[in-house]
Every structure is written in C-alpha cells, then in structure tokens.
Structure 1
C-alpha cells in the first residue's frame, strides 16, 4: 500500500509514555471493567468495541476484570526509532484520508462532519468512557468522540491472528472511524433508542452485531473512495484487509477459545459476515449499501 500519497492529519494526540492512573469510575457507579466480553483478552480489541458500548452490549453478563497499570509506575517513553516514527506517520495519513472522505460524503447529505481525534497510548489510557488497558485494543469512545490506539496492537494482530499489512492496519483504524461516522449520522443514538425499547443487543441478529457490521461496511466505503483518489493499493492489499476481517468473527474467535461458537452471545458477526459487509462497502463506495439496521439478512 503506497500510503505515503495521503495527507497527514493534525488530529493525532500522542500520549505514549505518560503515566496513567488506575481504573476510573463511570458515572459514579463503580469501576469500569474493560477487557471486553472477551473470549481472549485481545478480543476486546479486535471487535472494535468501546468501553461504553461494552456496557450497553453485555447486559446480564458478568464483566471480566482488566488489570490497570500502577500509578506509581511511569509508562515507558515512546520509541523514537524509525519504525515508530513511520507507524505514527502511517496513522496520521490514514486518519487524514478518512477526514477527507467523510467530510465530502456527509456534506452531500447535509451533515457537517466533525473530525475526531485519535489518541496514541501505551500501557493504558483514561478516556471519556473510562480507563482502558492495552489489552482492550483500539476503540472508539462516543462520550469524547475520540479513537484510542496502542501501536503495539498491530504487532499483536500479526502475531496472534496472522493479519498483517498496511491495508489490514488501515482497516482497523477505518473501522473505529466508522463508529464515529455512526455518531455523526445519529445512528448510534437510534441504536440506543431501540435498545431502550427492548430490542436485543446480543445475538446473531442483535443490535450490536448490526452496529459492528455497519462499521465494517463504512470502512469499506472509505477504502473505495481513498483508492479512487490515490490508487495506492497494491497486489495483496485487499486480501490482507479481508484476512483481518475474517480473523475477528465471533464464530472463529469463540471456536478458537472454547471449541464451539455460541450465536446467542455474538456481538460482532461471523467471519463471513464481516468480510461480506466490508466488501460491500469497498465495492460500492455507497453509504446506503451499509444499512445493517434494516437488513433482513446479515
């Protein structure tokens, strides 16, 4: 992927190496336990889940406890080697291109797109949704409208899920930005309203699965328009992104972790569904093709 063709965003905040406190309470109702509904600690990531969304989605389930760093132990300073600088430059470029894409597409719908910030952290971070450790993985916090990313996650994705490549990493960022687009379009609010009306969040056709599949589709929409502008994709790039989407389906992760899939506990969709919806957005470049809330078949 010839990503250096893109514009760099100024909305990346680097908090790596800063000391973080322990867990933060959310709304004064106790500590916020993060780590996701996890089958494995990394799943809390891969599913692109924010702490706020986790609370909404796992009603009735016991939360898993996440270890937070000790406030007395300062985080290691961020690496300043060539690889680290290139990773930061990559993140800025992908974020900048999502800004250009979604400003244009939402303007066509009469919606003014507000750029989110992307916060780089190491070890753990305090967000508007509470404390998150590195094990949580990348997430979008709707409370402060920011994306949070520990760059070490890209290495974990390669090692744990054999999902590597610049376009696979770009898919991760674009998926989280997809959640911000849902916020901008009022879709997140609609999902909350449906949940309050009794629509199930969990399950193979639940609101959570529909929300995550739509973020996958939005990631594909971005990729379509980015490719039209830059022609930056190379042989194998699309396959790497599809491999990443395929690696993080509920069915595959549950099968790997516990030997069987439990559809009633799905929150993000199967591997095939994630691949299908990302591909739909990638081929069409059309937001209207991403209406997972109304889709009869996911």
Structure 2
C-alpha cells in the first residue's frame, strides 16, 4: 500500500503537477558547450556558495532579449497519480491575455510508484496521439503574477509565506515554487539569478556534483530533503536554467512523486507563424491553418 502524503503537501504540489508536460518534436535549442566556470565547480564550496556564484555569473540566452506576447514551454513529466505513474509531453503557448494552446501526448500509464524515468521512454511520446486544447482569454493564467520579482527576498515571500519558515515542509515548498515558475513562465537572466539565490537560502540544500539528465544535458545537481521527500534539481551551469526536477518520497519507502524535464522555453510573437507550431494538431489529425 502506498504512503499517503500530508494533505497540505499534496495541495501545494498539485498545481505544479497539473501544469504539465507535452511532446518532443522540436529539438531543444543548445545553450553552450563550454565547461562550467571553475568558480562554480571548484571543490570545497558549499551548495549555497555555488548557487550564489552561479547567480553572479550566469549567461544571457537569446530568448532573454526576445519580445512577444506568447510564452512557449515544452516539458515532459512523469507524475504520481494515486497508484500509478502518468507520463505527459506538453507544449504550451500562453498569451499575456491568458489565452493559449496546449498540445499533449500521453503514453500509457505505468502501474505502481517505484518507477524511475529512463531516456528510452522519451521515444514513446512521439508515438502517442497528440491532442490540442485551446484556452480562451483569461483561462490560462501564469503560475505567479508577471513579472516575477528579481529581489530574492520578495521572490521567496511570493513563493512561500514567511510564517511557514519554521515548518518542516518549508524547504520543499520553496523548491516547489521555483519549479513551478520554471515550468509555467519564462524567466529572464535576472529572474533566474533571483531563483538561484532563493535556492541558496534553503536550509540544508546540498550539492551532488555534475551530472546528465535523461535528455543527455549536463548540469549541476542539488538536493533538498524535507517533509519525507527528496527534491533533486539539475541546473545549467552557464545559463542558470532549471533543466530537470525530480521528487521522490523517502519514507516509509522510496517512491516516485514527479520527474519533469524542461526541454524548451522562449517568447514568441505569433505561434501560427512560428516554426514551433506550423499546424494545429488534434487527436483526429493535423488541421492546416
């Protein structure tokens, strides 16, 4: 019988998991192939020191200077659903007026809660039937009000009420907030730096070294253990972008709670004129514009 998580924790996590995932057509745009800065990977630094140094030195990416009313995000997520794991590939185009489109692909669910996502599973998203959902204005809101603050204290207060700072779940709540922002909104360089500084302030955050996620992307890995759960974040060592977020329960036995790959993020003008979205695809086949 699977362990039931605290009700409040489930509610906090719910918004994140529903925000979703999608398909894998367009390859993720490369960030950089250079090695991480020695200042970030040097031995002997604490996790907070690494995160602060990274916040001080992260690079800009082309999308930081691109304007347009649409935020485009592409994610793939494995998520706990009672007694099984769902798998979702999500492409989302969200307009500033709260309208937008979601294109999702859902391979079959997996029974049980002990599954660990594998790279080979990503091929299943391509084979799954796509479904596109249109959202009228005002129905597809940002995870947090735009623009997110660039002051770390203000950002932390927005993501988790200060009165919860003494609660055992507070580190996990803050980490959830950062993941929620990264999976729902475009974050520019200053906003990414603020997120890194918030993470640096999380009690007992630890650094696990450099690794590659199941999309073969290298990054710096940090873990937060709180509320009987371990959250693992893989962060691009140059841009400060969150690449992967993995959450696993630790008691009474290890079980997957969620695993999210953030594959692409940018701002665009008109999705109908953009190569990312040349046609609208529904479960009944492509529909040309």
> Is the structural similarity TM-score above 0.5?
no
Structure with the bigger percentage of helix: 1
Q: Which bin holds the TM-score, normalised by the shorter protein?
A: under 0.3
TM-score normalised per structure 1: 0.24
Higher relative contact order (CA 8 A, sep 6+): 2
TM-score normalised per structure 2: 0.25
Structure with the bigger percentage of strand: 2
